[in-house]
Structure 1
Amino acid sequence: MNSESWWKNMLPQWPRAQWRRFSDRYCHGQGPYAHLFAPYDGDQVVAIDCETTGLDCRTAELVSIAAVVVKGGRVLSSQSLDVKLAPPDSLDEDSIRIHRLRPVDLEGGESVRDALDSLLTFIGNRPLVGWCVAFDVAMINRYLRPLMGFDLPNGTIELSALYQKKMRYWQPDLTPDLRFDAMAGALQVPVLGRHTARGDAVTSALMYLQLQKPTFG
């Protein structure tokens, strides 16, 4: 059986997302982005956040991306990325009220391609952690696949799922509030620069560290 026939036979047996990951690894595993597809065996994670012009990843556009490294029980603020993009066409008053980035604040911002290059260089193949991290990844992939031909292969850790699981042990009689600010408050983490990519990334990193503790309070 040739390789093309093998691929076609495998396609119906795998979920679409799993097939896409395999296909991306096959196509890019030997190229300039090969390191992104290698298994990660280190002790770091990267907290990530995106600010966008909306909440629908099919139509919203990226405004800024930030990421910060977590290692050894510490948030390494000196190892961080904070990228503002050129003003997107869909930037309007509604989104500006949330992230407070006006067109004038984004003058000289990076192109999407340059921003993605910076992001891939920074995160490498380390796992990504965030609140509603699937949305951030989906936003990045919406640009990444057309430009570079693959989705982010990094593993992800969803803070709200981790928080919910931990709270079953810490406070089993309470129903956890999974909103960002509520989680931060319950975990006694300061909310830094809410609705800024860097602030939300650092706050997410601090929440992740709290959730690594065996006990709470």
Structure 2
Amino acid sequence: MNLFQWLKPAKRAKAPELTAEQVQRLSELPRTATLSEQPLRQQRWVVLDLETSGLNMNRDDVLSIGAVVIEDGAIDLGQQFERTLSRPDHKLSPSVLIHGLGPSAIAAGSEPVEALLDFMAFVGDSPLLAFHAPFDQHMIGRALKESLGYKLQHPFLDVAEIAPLLFPQACLRQAGLDDWTAFFGLHAEERHHASADALVTAELALILFSHARKQGMDSPLQLEQDLAKWRRRQQSHSF
């Protein structure tokens, strides 16, 4: 490589091509949301789960989005979201054995731009919850950036962190969703399906919110602040 090649700027990703209607819908989406000091029961939450083509956060794609709403301290089954995204270039991978989304289901899916616009309209300005949230946050954020040119700035809280924060006696710090649902005696009708996993995550979150209030964490902002302290303690103990 010569000097001029080294100085050449990196190739930018091609800007997404949107219709006038899609551009209008995009402009109406909230760009950000903040964690409030209102009581947990008064906060609308969107609980998210994704099925993806694999676990590589920079290469694999979102195949399915499932979400449910917690509002007024309960799961609102009238507010649910589910989409499978069409991925023409998707190749059969071992992940199909987990999520069951074969080529025919992917081919019949929704066009990604429309599906993602619908999802963000569903989210509105609500914060999001997920189990192992950094993965879902990165994957949905990358999909939104690539398909819409939209930068996701909504807060994400990780149920996988909230659980050991509130229940250190469970000794399940590195546990998965199945471990925590078993700990609380929850029953998941179906697993590795985005909507079903979002629903059981929401059920787990409601249990945790109840215990958070008893421990003096009665607002989204307070919960996040206590989570940040918990993370620092975990990091200090790891050295």
TM-score (normalizing by structure 1): 0.76
Residue of structure 2 in register with 1:202 after alignment: 199
For residues 172 and 140 of structure 2, what CA distance do their matches in structure 1 show?
32
Please, which runs of 5 or more residues in structure 2 have no aligned partner? 1-25, 37-41, 215-239
Residue of structure 2 in register with 1:19 after alignment: none
Residue of structure 2 in register with 1:161 after alignment: 161
Q: Shift of residue 197 of structure 1?
A: 0.5
- Structure 1 residue 32 corresponds to structure 2 residue 27: yes
For residues 192 and 55 of structure 1, what CA distance do their matches in structure 2 show?
24
For residues 94 and 57 of structure 1, what CA distance do their matches in structure 2 show?
16
For residues 155-202 of structure 1, what are the alpha-carbon distances to aligned partners after superposition, in whole Å with 9 as ceiling and x for unaligned? Answer: 11101110010112xx27x35452110011112222232100001110
Q: Which amino acid aligns with 1:100?
A: G
For residues 172 and 103 of structure 2, what CA distance do their matches in structure 1 show?
41
For residues 177 and 62 of structure 1, what CA distance do their matches in structure 2 show?
24
Q: Which amino acid aligns with 1:182?
A: D
For residues 198 and 84 of structure 1, what CA distance do their matches in structure 2 show?
11
For residues 129 and 71 of structure 2, what CA distance do their matches in structure 1 show?
13
For residues 124 and 34 of structure 1, what CA distance do their matches in structure 2 show?
7
Q: Shift of residue 44 of structure 1?
A: 0.9
For residues 56 and 43 of structure 1, what CA distance do their matches in structure 2 show?
32
Residue of structure 2 in register with 1:73 after alignment: 73
For residues 157 and 45 of structure 2, what CA distance do their matches in structure 1 show?
9
For residues 205 and 109 of structure 2, what CA distance do their matches in structure 1 show?
30
Residue of structure 2 in register with 1:27 after alignment: none
Give the number of equivalent residue pairs.
Answer: 182
- Structure 1 residue 139 corresponds to structure 2 residue 134: no
1:94–1:34 distance in 2 versus 1, CA, 3 Å: closer
Contact 2:49 / 2:65 at 8 angstroms: preserved in 1?
Answer: yes
For residues 130 and 38 of structure 1, what CA distance do their matches in structure 2 show?
16
1:178–1:70 distance in 2 versus 1, CA, 3 Å: same
For residues 94 and 208 of structure 1, what CA distance do their matches in structure 2 show?
30
Q: Shift of residue 74 of structure 1?
A: 1.3
Residue of structure 1 in register with 2:121 after alignment: 121
1:138–1:164 distance in 2 versus 1, CA, 3 Å: same
Q: Which amino acid aligns with 1:109?
A: G
For residues 90 and 73 of structure 1, what CA distance do their matches in structure 2 show?
39
For residues 62-109 of structure 1, what are the alpha-carbon distances to aligned partners after superposition, in whole Å with 9 as ceiling and x for unaligned? Answer: 110011100122111220100011145344241110101111223321
Q: Which amino acid aligns with 1:191?
A: A
- Structure 1 residue 185 corresponds to structure 2 residue 182: yes
Moved >3 Å (runs of 4+):
38-42, 174-177
TM-score (normalizing by structure 2): 0.70
Contact 1:128 / 1:155 at 8 angstroms: preserved in 2?
Answer: yes
Please, which runs of 5 or more residues in structure 1 have no aligned partner? 1-30
Q: Secondary structure at the match of 1:157?
A: strand
